[in-house]
Structure formats: C-alpha cells, structure tokens
Amino acid sequence: MQTAQQDVTAQSVPYRDVPGGQQWEAGDFAAAYALAVESGTVEGQLLAARSAADQAVYRETGSDASLAWLEASETAAQAALALQPDGPLAAAATMALARAKGEAALHRGLLANSRLPGELRTLFERVLELQPGNPDALVALGAWHLELTERGVGWLYGGRRDDVLPLIERGVAAAPEQINLRVEYAIALRALGRADDAAAELATAMSLTAVTAVDKLEQERAARLLDGGDPPR
C-alpha cells in the first residue's frame, strides 16, 4: 500500500507532519479539522477538507450535521485550490472538492441541482488531466457512470454503463491495497448483477492491512455489506 505517511484511503497526500495529521489517522476527524483548517498551507487545507468530509461520512448520523461538515470540506478544498491551482497537489484538491460536492448530493439528491452531475464529471476529468491514472478519480468517475445509468438519466449527461467497470478496474489496479476502492468496486459489481465477484472483493478489502481509522471504518462497512446491511452511500 502507500507508506504510513500517506492517506491510504483517498488522496495520496502526506498528513502525518501536518497539524491534525495524527488526529486524522486515529479517527478524531473533528479535532483534525480544527487543527488543520488554521494552517495556511495547501497540505493543511487538504487535511481539513478530508477530515471534514470523513466526519460527515463516518461520524454524523443526521443530514443537517453532515451537510454542515461537507460545506466546511468544500470551503477547505477551494482554499487549497486557491493556494495551488495547477501544482502537484492540485489534483488532490480537485478530488477533495468533488468528494465534498458528491457526498452533499447524497443528502440533497443527486439531481436536485441539474448542473451537478456535469460539474462532478468535469472535476473528475480535471483530476485525470492533472494526474493521469489517479485511482480515486477513476473509481469515482466509474461510480458516476453507474449512478446516472441506474437512475435512467445517463443519456442526459453522457453516462455509459459500459464505462463503469473499465474505469473502476483501472482505479483498483492502480491502488490495489486501497481499501475504500475495493469496497466501491464491490458495490458496482453487485449493482451490475455480479454478486459472487462483489463478495470476493469485499473479502479482499477485509483482508488488507488497515493503516488508518478510515481503513478500519471501510472494513467495517465491507463486513456490513457482506452481511446484507448498509446500503451503499
């Protein structure tokens, strides 16, 4: 997998030496955000964006609280992009922005804003322009195609069912030990009627070494999915 100094579940950005990095690794996402958001660095704003999104996804149970954290995540991602719009961390910042917007759409409704699906695709494609082969963007773009075709509106935004697995499989191949990508791959396989393959991917996710709290939370998610619980986020 990535080294211990890297985010092993989403962006490959060093966090350990960033204020709040140890708190994030331990799963205290709110504390990590509070420390990181005060940083004037790109790395600090990236950690703030990641921590706020993780707080929304893994810790909060109500939509209002989750949306508040996701707004904070989006703000921090925008701040990171303002500091480095085209540099080596711009791909990570763009991915963080896409994640905040995409997670918020799960609470508001993906199609509540008719422009959002196009915005998300543009962000994913920008990440891949900045960093070809970015595993998070590949998997997210594959999931985007799946979501829109499952909703019957793929034709409206350019979503193609045939693009789902090739994109996701490229992303997983680029980061084979990244646990959350294995879980997303399994969700796509299940949605496409490949239940046995999905179960195998979930088992693989659970067998990988968990380095951070998020890794462990994703493995718990994989176990619930294997047991027929937790609908996909």
The contacts of residue 27 (CB under 8 Å, 6+ apart) are 58, 212, 213, 214, 216, 217
Whether pLDDT at 53 is above 60: yes
pLDDT at 114: 83
106-150 pLDDT tens trace: 898 767 778 899 999 999 999 999 999 999 999 999 999 999 999
Averaged pLDDT, 84-100: 95
CA atoms of 63 and 77, how far apart (whole Å): 20
| Closest of 103, 172, 109, 161 to residue 137, by C-alpha | 172
CA atoms of 175 and 92, how far apart (whole Å): 15
185-206 pLDDT tens trace: 999 999 999 999 999 999 999 9
Task: Kindly list the distances between the CA atom of residue 180 and the CA atoms of 108, 154, 206, 219, in Å, as whole numbers in the listed order.
Answer: 23, 25, 10, 8
> How many Cα atoms sit within 13 Å of 43 on the Cβ side?
13
* pLDDT higher at 114 or 212: 212
CA 190 to chain centre: 19
The predicted model scores a pTM of 0.90
- DSSP reduced 3-state for 111: coil
The contacts of residue 62 (CB under 8 Å, 6+ apart) are none
Angle, in degrees to the nearest 10, between helices 195-207 and 179-191: 170
At 152, give phi and psi (nearest 5°): 80, 15
